[in-house]
Structures are given as structure tokens and as C-alpha cells.
Amino acid sequence: MCGIVGYIGDKSAANFLIDGLTKLEYRGYDSAGIAVFDGNEIFIEKSVGRLASLKEKLKGYTPKGSIGIGHTRWATHGRPSDINAHPHTDCHGDFVVVHNGIIENYMALKEDLIERGHKFLSETDTEVVPHLLEEFYKGDFASAVREVLKKIEGSYSLVFMSKNHHDELICAKQDNPLIVGIGEGENFIASDIPAIINKTRSTYILNDGEIAIVKKNSVEITDKNGNKIDKKIFNVSWNAEAAEKGGYEHFMLKEINEQPKAIRDTMRGFIKQIRPSKNNDERIAKDGSSIIFPELKWNPDFLKNIDKVYIVACGTAYHAGLVGKFYIEKLARMLVEVDLASEFRYRDPIIDEKTLTIFISQSGETSDTIAAMKESKRLGAKTLAITNVIGSSLAREADQVLYTIAGPEIAVASTKAYTTQLILMFMLALYMAQLRKTVSEDRTRELISLLKKIPAQISETLSDVDPIKTFARSYGFNEHVFYIGRSLDYDVALEGALKLKEISYIHAEAYAAGELKHGTLALIVEGVPVIALATQKSVYDKTISNIKEVKARDAVVIGIAAAGDTELEKYIDHVIYVPDTDELLIPLLTVVPLQLLAYYSAITRGCDVDKPRNLAKSVTVE
């Protein structure tokens, strides 16, 4: 999730670009850059690090010119560095581009462009765009842009600037936000409203497939074929602070709602269509698919012959690891141990050259997790990091890295990082199962087909939050809440309890449902809220009997069930349904009502949702 800005008018482009990037820095902050046309040449300055580093490089110099583009980066391809910072240009500096998104087919495009003699400077996917423009440009800027868009696959919001057409900027939008702000004798472009809200509240919110040709006194919107679109102006009513949260009251709620997109972005590029079978069976060619991990440079034989896996993490990432254990053991039939990072390194773990240690960390800066990885490497294990931050300490320390593409997670309570960690763990487990042939092709196709439906199913779950708001208001002042479940439901219950604990300060605990009678049942008295997860069909009857145990003690039971379950409601007080899917994938759905329950409980109690007391977003101390 990067931040993009553009300006065309009669004032200083650089002043707007720097100011706009400052307001978008929450969207990404590992490097920044601007490009301004001064009437003869395009001036470009960019720097790794936060925007302050770019300002430092400019040393108070304000580039001349009244047309320009700018970018603050959240790296997805290519580590944070000066050369990987945007903007990027073609071979001659005639075209300059900034981009937010992922160009999935950039490797093939880059190879072809190199063969045609193009010289690349960066490791980014974005850099193929200005070189493609150089290839297609025959004098008509907009027509060349349309040709470029036909070649690239993936997600993008793009802004193009040309030395030969310095009276216009061209924007294109697909799966990533882009807006045009309409001024008086000037126009503005941005990824998000905060960058322009102090300049204008009249905007065009671009839709997927739309192109905007922005001049200082006009904005023309077309489709990808150049057909004009008569677009309505959207007048922004938010204040600046609300705009940074995309109109949501808190970053946490924004990030909960970003999960469908974060999951789509994380899956992108890992699911490949199997080439048609020998007899060209249309069915396989159409819906066949398999998991690929081009980023994993290990020899597949190594992954096939591992005899032990450790998953090591803290907090929410640890809870994702518990689900990952279930996936790898169930699908790839490999022995997995999950450990808290703060414990792992002090218990003299049994490690050898056939051990794989996986470290999960949203920030990639958690001190305990980094230290555990160093210990694991000292003992000779291969190390894989799963992290959300390219270039983070953990990413740099690991032998191999898989990235969640969740975008910056600002709220202390982790939500979209958790679900994207589950997605990566699931795909890794299925990939290993493919290598070890422990799952049939049919089952692989079935699971991948269900996996692709998860983003839409999360959107469906997010579409009706009123029952959860009601529960939060009714039970939000209890001092003790219990979460119970079996199998994967237990793992998700642990995450649900942590969410409630850390932002509403309610004492919440999760228990394996079968464990209640071994002590915890003594705490279940009349009126105590119990959140019961009952989605795991393989242990459903056992879970129901545990629910009956707590109901017999007059607890108030809120159940989380799969749609179509007509049994659970007979035994409990309220049921929240999530769309039905394979019991391996349903944790991605059941966690969402638990995130929302924690969020609305914290609101009910007047807590600081995004910055809860005593906690930090990244625990960089032991």
C-alpha cells in the first residue's frame, strides 16, 4: 500500500507533492520520491527511508515547475533502497511513473524489454511500465498509455508524466485507490483523500478500468479503450483525521475491513493454472490450479525431506502459527511444533539440518522472534520468515522470506496481518503437500477453489455487524469472558480472547472446550459470557456437549457457527453465522466476528482502540 500524489496547475508542484506525501505517509514509509518538470527537464529526487530523508536530500531546495508526481513506498517487490524508490523512468527520462500495486507479469515483460535493449536500474515490478511506454509511444501519450495497460496484469494505481506532454498527467486505476481532486486552474491526484482535503473537496473517485487525463483546467475520464465516461463529482465531507482512516473511526476498523483486499493481494502470484492435461481435458485446464512459491529458492527436495518443523512467534503471530501447525500436519503430514519466541531460545531446541524453522512476525522487528531466529540459525536450521515488512530485521536475517501483502498495519491490535499469515501458512502447507504428494490433485483443486472465495466471504461477514454491536453493548461491561472451541476453533478462540483483552481490558481467556471440566468450569457461573466456536465438523458433537456443560451452569453463550447449522441455536443464547466452507479455511472467517466483538466492546468501554494502554505495535525489547 503506497502513497501517490500528482499536481498540475500554476503553483509549485513540489510544495504540494511533499505536503501530500506527508499526509499519506501512513500508507507506506520505506522510501519516497518526487519528479517535477521545470519547463525543460524532469527533476527527480528520491530517497530510502521516511519522507524526512527525502526532505533532507532536497536540503530546502524547491524544484521549479508546476507539474509533478510523488510517491511514498510500501515495498512489495525489491527491498527498500534509493534505486528502488519511485518515481521510475524509461531509458531516456522522457517518461516518469509512480505506482501502487503489484504487476504480476513483470518478470516476463522485463525479460522481453531487456531483449529489446532496455536498461533497468531497479529490482521493482514498477519499472517495466515506463519502458513499455517508451516502446508503445508514437506521439500520442494517452494512446500509448492504453497500450501499456493492455500488457500489464495485476493491481495498480498509476500516474504517468511525459516530458513531451507536460500539460497533462495521465492516471489509471485497477484494484488500488486513486482520486482526482478538482481545483480552480489546478488539479490534484492522490491515492487517498487526506492528501488533497486541504486543497479541494470536489473529487473524482476512479473506478477499476478507468483512465483520467488531467490538465490544469480539465479532467477527462475514459475507459481502457478511450471511450469518454461522464463521471459524477464526489464531494468529500470527512475531516482530515477521518480521511486518513478512510472514513473509519479507527485504524483497527479500517484494517479489519481491508482484509478481503489484503488476502487477495497476498494470494496473488502464488496460484498457478496447471497446463492442460495430455488429452487437453478442458476441466483441468479451466479450473486446475496449484500453489507455486517462486520466491522460495530452496531445492524442492529439501522441503520434501524435512523431518521437523518449528513455528516460532509471539502474540497474534503465535496464534497464526498454531493454525499453521494444523495445516502442515494435516496436509503435508509433517511433524510441527509451535513455540513462543520468548520460550523457544531458552529450551535448547532439538535442531539439525533437516529442521525447518518458520518465524512469523507482522513487523519483522519483534526482539524475541529475531533472537529466536538467530539461535535457530546458530544450531544449523534452515530459517523462513513470514512477515509484512520488506527489508525488516527478520526478513534480512532469514534464509528465505514469504511476505504477507497486507499493507501497513497501524492499529496495535493485529487483524489483517493475522488473516494474511493464515493464508500464507495454508498455501505453504498445500505447496509442501504437493511436493510430498500427500494431497490428491482433486483435493488440491478443491481447496484452492475454496481459498479463492475467502475474500468475498469475509466481505459478506463484514456486511452485517449489527448483531455483534448489540452483543458488545450487552456484554461489554463484564469483567470476565471465556472463549471455547476444539481443534482449529480453539486456535481461533485464543486469538479472539487476545483481541478482546488487549483493547477492551476485559479479562478474557480461551480454553480447549474439552478442558473445561479439568478446572475452568469452576469459574463458569450464572451470567458469565462464553463465546463458543463450533465450526469444526469433525469434533462438532463433542463441542456441543461442552456447550451444554456451560449452559448447565447458566452461562450466557454466544456461538460462532457455519451458515446452515440449525443445531447449535437449540442450545445457546445467540448465534453468529459465518459463510460455510472447508473446516480448514473457516478460521479465516470465524476470526472476523471476534475481531469486531473486541472492537465494539472497546468502543462500549470508551477505550483507546488503536493505542491500548501499556502496549506497543512492535515489541522491540525482550
Of positions 22, 31, 362, 404, contacts ligand AGP by CB under 6 A: 362
* Smallest separation, CB 319 to ligand AGP (Å): 8
Chosen residue from 34, 413, 433, 447 binding ligand AGP by CB under 6 A:
413
Residue 224 appears among annotated catalytic residues: no
Residues 477-516 that bind ligand AGP (CB under 6 A): 502
Q: Please, what is the minimum distance in Å from the beta carbon of residue 492 to ligand AGP? A: 14
> Residue 578 gets which letter from DSSP?
E
All 3 cell numbers of residue 218?
480539465
Burial 288-315 (b: 16+ CB within 10 A, else e): bbbbebeebeeeeeebeebebbbbbbbb
Q: How far is the CB of 128 from ligand AGP (least distance, A)?
A: 32
The order of strands in the sheet holding 336-340 is 336-340, 308-313, 355-361, 382-387, 400-403
Q: Minimum Å distance from CB 367 to ligand AGP?
A: 9
State which residue, 45 or 255, has the beta carbon closest to ligand AGP: 255
The binder of ligand AGP chosen from 211, 314, 384, 556 (CB under 6 A): 314
Position 517, amino acid: K
Q: Among residues 363, 444, 536, 595, which is the contact residue for ligand AGP, using CB under 6 A?
A: 363
Would you say 313 and 359 are in contact if contact means Cβ atoms under 8 Å apart? yes
Q: Which residues of 15-25 are buried (b: 16+ CB within 10 A; e: fewer)?
A: ebbbbbbbbbb
| CA separation for the pair 67, 480 (Å, rounded) | 58
Confirm or reject binding of residue 408 to ligand AGP (CB under 6 A). Answer: no
Does residue 404 belong to the site contacting ligand AGP (CB under 6 A)?
no
Q: Nearest to ligand AGP by Cβ — which residue?
A: 315
Cβ 502 vs Cβ 494: under 8 Å: no
Please confirm, yes or no, whether 2 is among the known catalytic residues.
yes
Closest CA to 148 of 105, 208, 91: 105
Candidates 191, 366, 457, 487; binder of ligand AGP (CB under 6 A) is 366
Residue 383 binds ligand AGP (CB under 6 A): no
If one asks whether residue 367 binds ligand AGP (CB under 6 A), the answer comes out as no
Q: Pairing between strand 382-387 and 400-403?
A: parallel
Run of H or E residues at 95: strand 95-103
Nearer to ligand AGP, 162 or 316 (CB): 316
Q: Which of 2, 171, 314, 607 is catalytic?
A: 2
Angstrom distance (rounded) from CA 426 to CA 331: 9
Query: Of the two residues 417 and 439, which places its CB atom closer to ligand AGP in the complex?
Result: 417
Least distance (Å) between residue 417 CB and ligand AGP: 6
Instruction: Find the part of the chain contacting ligand AGP (CB under 6 A) among 93-101, 121-129, 358-366, 596-604.
Output: 358-366
Query: Helices (H) and strands (E) in the chain — how many of each?
Result: 20, 26
**Position 386 contacts ligand AGP (CB under 6 A):** no
Q: Is 354 helix (H, G, I), strand (E, B) or coil?
A: coil
Identified binder of ligand AGP from the candidate list 288, 315, 408, 485, rule CB under 6 A? 315
C-alpha cell at 619: 515489541
For the CB of residue 356, give the shortest distance to ligand AGP in the complex, in Å: 19
Residues that bind ligand AGP (CB under 6 A): 314-317, 361-363, 366, 369, 412-414, 502, 618-619
Q: List, by residue number, the catalytic residues.
A: 2, 617
